[in-house]
Structure 1
Amino acid sequence: MTLRFLRCGHSSFSPVCLDYWNSLVLELFDAHHNLDNPAVAANIMGLPMPLIPTVVDGIGAQLMQRRQLYAVPMSKLRMLMICRMAKPEEVLIVEDENGNIVRETMKDNDVLVQYKVTNLLIMRETLIYLSHLDHEDTEKQMLKKLSKQLSGEDWTWNNLNTLCWAIGSISGSMMEEQENRFLVMVIRDLLNLCEMTKGKDNKAVIASNIMYVVGQYPRFLRAHWKFLKTVVNKLFEFMHETHPGVQDMACDTFLKIVQKCKRKFVIVQVGENEPFVSELLSGLATTVADLEPHQIHIFYESVGHMIQAESDTQKREEYLQRLMALPNQKWGEILAQAHQSVDFLKDQDVIRTVLNILQTNTSVASSLGTFFLSQISVIFLDMLNVYK
């Protein structure tokens, strides 16, 4: 029965197949997880309750035998899940009907979106259980497929995408030491692949996968500062890449990482002279130079989260002042022109600039909370005058 369901999955991922695999793997996981409590495990396996006390001593052996029986089908199922993993919502770069890499536009209706989300959740859950059942086989299969991407033997956009989506989906399912080793190899290979691969479309696909994978492993990033700093600087590089979707995903990933690692950016790390947030603020104008207004808002919100994590009031105020220097300078220039002639504020470009400055303030306020008070004090009266 299991093998028949595995075969059916190669042609299509029907809800029946997914539900069956999920149910079977969950049962195997629960039984495996309760090896130290044979009575519970026997109950999971469906043995009649009156028989459990008399056979409990042999349950452990039966569980191991059952696990061995399913080892080969489960290994095949792992590979199938890795090869067919559904696209996460965080991934914004897709291949269109003409084979071009573009930024995803949402065209699906609510029912279809819900169907896709449900399938993704079931697939993620199933692969996590499969990883718990055999970490070594999961790691071996993923690294083998990744090596084939590097060698060119198995290189396609779809193969790399599904592999990286699968890698991202099992975050937290390995022991921390194993996960650390595994992730270092994955990111190293992906960065090498990005360096050696030619073509903007190819690089955009690899970049989107790097961003998705690193965003799924905050525990690792928090524990490895140099790696975290390298990842963030790589995101800053991607923010200058004008290929559709790359900048959006870079900003979204930056926000996701900062929210989960913000304290790391405001302390002086070993071997460094200043906190990363101070270094970032020094190069702020260069970093955001190629971003669209909505991307700048996300970036400012992210830095706001960093500043919010600073416990020293004086440093926090200094960081906020440096962060808002660019929009405050532009704000001052507009007000100076408006004092000369109120008609200046009627220009459509000026109106858009004013709205963008206000939205930037809103984004920072959303992450800083009450710590935004000093900045709102600077612009509040001017905002009222502009509105008037």
Structure 2
Amino acid sequence: MTDAQYVASRRPLWCGVAALFTDGRGRVVLEDVDYRPTCLLPGGGIDTGEAPSQAIAREVHEELGLTRRFSSVLAVDWIPPGTPGYPPGFPGEAIYVFDGGTLTEDDLAHVRLPGREITGVRRIEPALLPRHMDPANARRALAALRARINGAAPAILEDGRPLAPTPLDDLQVLRTPRKPQLWRWHTSHPVPVELPVRQAWGWLFADDGRVLVLIGQDTGSACLPGGTVEPADHGDPARTLRREAWEEARVRISDAHFLGYLHDETGGRPCARARYAAQITGWQPPRRDEATGQTYTRLLATPEQAAELFDWGDETADQLAAVHTAREKLGLPAPIPRPLTELPPGQLSEGSAAR
């Protein structure tokens, strides 16, 4: 076979690029376009002779007026021939999804739309992407977002579905809308007397400096261990955390250290939602939480990975700073970024774990 014959024998293939941007609350930035009823991630086709990183930089500048460099690919998706919505003879397409990072409010204020095709920009809660995008595009965007949080190699997708699912994929994390918790963070101690402490949540550290995040198996929703202060806790939120850590996650913890509190003024009933830090000292296999009927999968994540699963807004950075200060006081190492993993099996006696 000659070189010319070999080139002629190669199957033609479309190649495209997209950028996953989020705002400060973790909402995904989508474009409204005038040529289809659903939204898209910023991006487009790769021109002849153009590298994917050049293509996405060009597309983002043309569509949003933003100048960016792109060096991290979150996912590569294969769209098979015959996919609905494509023209006859569509040969299939490989799409590179780049990490656009977080756009600040100032960045978003400087977005400039072209005179055609792109008619608007919206920010969408991840779980609501299927309402705004066609199914395959929504799957791709969610898979790319989970890959960003997971922090491993790019996800390889086929029609938006990962070939090697991570725990975040298996649990379909972010399929349920997150509850906004946009309350002001305070590090003062004690909590003002006039402000009742209604809940206590904990940043519970493993020996490697990562923290425990609970994922509801029925919902894919994330939470930190903790819950409502009950009469049996005798007004002690730290005791609440110890009890809830056992009931929800079957983990035993060291003495809890107060980090601060969130001042919740919703519903006309101001209260404090306290945050503590403690070290995990042991655990047993998970069980159904009798209070909620929920069974949780226990994942270990860096504090930064954990924060990406919540909608905490501008107060996130200050809370993370307090978390790392507590980690240092506990004598634990700074966690090495790595994919989220399940808490491994462990053994404790019932009596010691419940104290």
Q: Structures share a fold, TM > 0.5?
A: no
Determine which structure has more spread, i.e. the larger CA radius of gyration. Answer: 1
- TM-score band, normalised by shorter chain: under 0.3
Which one scores higher on RCO, CA 8 angstroms, separation ≥ 6?
Answer: 2
Q: Tell me the TM-score normalized by structure 1.
A: 0.24
User: Which protein has the bigger helix share?
Assistant: 1
User: Which protein has the bigger strand share?
Assistant: 2
Q: Tell me the TM-score normalized by structure 2.
A: 0.26
